[in-house]
């Protein structure tokens, strides 16, 4: 089975000299955009798989070097496969639950031909038992589930797997399930399953860095002008925040310890962003007061 050359840099939309941070950011952005559970386009699944393959190669320095050096010939070792049955690994499909989708995360050729008898973690040329391939699946969680931790029952390749995930898991974090990957051969042990956490977009909270969150804070014009104490939604309930007098839209008000839990203890911060809102409909009295305000506070000329 011949495999066509793919320009992984073009797939991720990054230059050839992109660093690892740029590659990781591009992958996360596009993976969310084309995830089949979030995108109904007919080619979304193919794009998502291509993104995973590109990220797998470019995020590994050794694989990236080989890819950059050999170009279209970097998979030439495929012609020397030791077992014709290896093609089935490209054709087998994973079956996921509502929360998970199975994707091949390994470089099959690296695992077929790379390393010695004691190296590598996938199929390799050997006279003895062969270890199964590692697999990777995407586990989507709501922000609330990620904060609390819990259990999931996933159906992957016709198998049910119970998964425990800790509180405070992060977007992109990997959870290793030993022995839950592809079965071994000739008595070899199975590979491992890696669950990559993907946080679903939240209607209110937006991640800010590793531990902090942003949330919009609706404020009435008079509250912004005069100052007020207003309620703000946090991941664990409602809190009160003091809006200083003279606050404009976009001002950040920090609530310490109201963000995401930190692995070393404590929590990040919640940033409430002032968003001045006006009534959609004004009563006669409100209109009168706004007109008086406009007359007494003319807009200063700018320029």
Residue 46's pLDDT band (cuts 50, 70, 90): confident
Residue-level pLDDT at 237: 87
Q: How many structural domains is the chain composed of?
A: 2
Which of 52-56, 119-123, 263-267 shows the lowest per-residue confidence on average (mean pLDDT)?
119-123
- Domain-located, residue 90: yes
Closest CA to 192 of 132, 138, 140: 132
CATH number, domain at 260? 2.60.260.20
Q: Within this chain, do residues 47 and 123 fall inside the same structural domain, yes or no?
A: yes
Q: Within this chain, do residues 288 and 183 fall inside the same structural domain, yes or no?
A: no
pTM for this prediction: 0.51
The CB-side HSE value for 124 (13 A sphere, CA atoms) comes to: 19
β-partners of residue 162 are 153
Q: Within this chain, do residues 139 and 225 fall inside the same structural domain, yes or no?
A: no
Q: Within this chain, do residues 57 and 161 fall inside the same structural domain, yes or no?
A: yes
Give mean pLDDT, residues 125-150. Answer: 80
Residue-level pLDDT at 67: 80
Residue-level pLDDT at 99: 53
More confident residue, 57 or 271: 271
Query: Is the pLDDT at 114 greater than 80, yes or no?
Result: no
Q: Within this chain, do residues 21 and 155 fall inside the same structural domain, yes or no?
A: yes
- Domain-located, residue 144: yes
- Domain-located, residue 39: yes
Q: Within this chain, do residues 38 and 98 fall inside the same structural domain, yes or no?
A: yes
Give mean pLDDT, residues 23-31. Answer: 88
Give mean pLDDT, residues 164-189. Answer: 85
- Domain-located, residue 241: yes
Give mean pLDDT, residues 109-123. Answer: 39
Give mean pLDDT, residues 267-288. Answer: 89
- Domain-located, residue 303: no
Residue 162: which domain range?
8-199
Q: Within this chain, do residues 183 and 233 fall inside the same structural domain, yes or no?
A: no
- Contact criterion met (CB below 8 Å) for 219 and 243: yes
Residue finishing a domain among 159, 180, 199 = 199
Give mean pLDDT, residues 217-239. Answer: 92
Task: Tell me the C-alpha distance between 218 and 224, whole Å.
Answer: 10
Sign of the C-alpha dihedral computed for residues 135, 136, 137 and 141 taken in this order:
positive
CATH number, domain at 126? 1.10.287.110
- Domain-located, residue 2: no
């Amino acid at each position: 089975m011949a495999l066509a050359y793919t320009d992984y840099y073009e797939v991720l939309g990054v230059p050839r000299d992109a660093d690892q941070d740029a590659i990781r950011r591009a992958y996360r952005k596009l993976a969310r955009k084309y995830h089949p559970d979030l995108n109904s386009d007919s080619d979304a699944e193919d794009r998502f798989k291509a993104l995973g393959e590109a990220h797998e190669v470019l995020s590994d320095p050794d694989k990236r070097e080989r890819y950059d050096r050999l170009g279209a010939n970097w998979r030439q070792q495929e012609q020397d496969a030791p077992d014709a049955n290896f093609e089935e690994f490209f054709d087998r499909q994973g079956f996921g639950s509502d929360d998970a989708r199975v994707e091949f995360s390994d470089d099959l050729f690296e695992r077929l031909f790379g390393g010695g008898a004691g190296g590598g973690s996938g199929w390799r040329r050997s006279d003895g038992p062969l270890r199964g391939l590692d697999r990777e699946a995407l586990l989507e969680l709501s922000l609330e589930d990620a904060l609390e931790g819990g259990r999931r029952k996933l159906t992957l390749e016709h198998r049910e797997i119970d998964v425990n995930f800790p509180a405070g898991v992060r977007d992109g974090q990997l959870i290793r399930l030993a022995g839950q990957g592809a079965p071994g051969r000739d008595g070899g042990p199975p590979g491992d399953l890696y669950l990559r956490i993907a946080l679903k977009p939240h209607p209110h909270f937006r991640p800010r860095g590793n531990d902090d969150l942003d949330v919009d804070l609706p404020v009435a014009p008079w509250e912004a002008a005069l100052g007020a104490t207003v309620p703000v939604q946090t991941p664990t309930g409602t809190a009160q925040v003091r809006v200083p007098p003279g606050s404009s839209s976009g001002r950040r008000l920090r609530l310490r310890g109201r963000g995401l839990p930190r692995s070393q203890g404590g929590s990040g911060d919640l940033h409430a962003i002032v968003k001045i809102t006006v009534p959609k409909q004004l009563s006669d009295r409100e209109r009168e007061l706004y007109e008086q305000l406009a007359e007494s506070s003319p807009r200063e000329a700018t320029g």
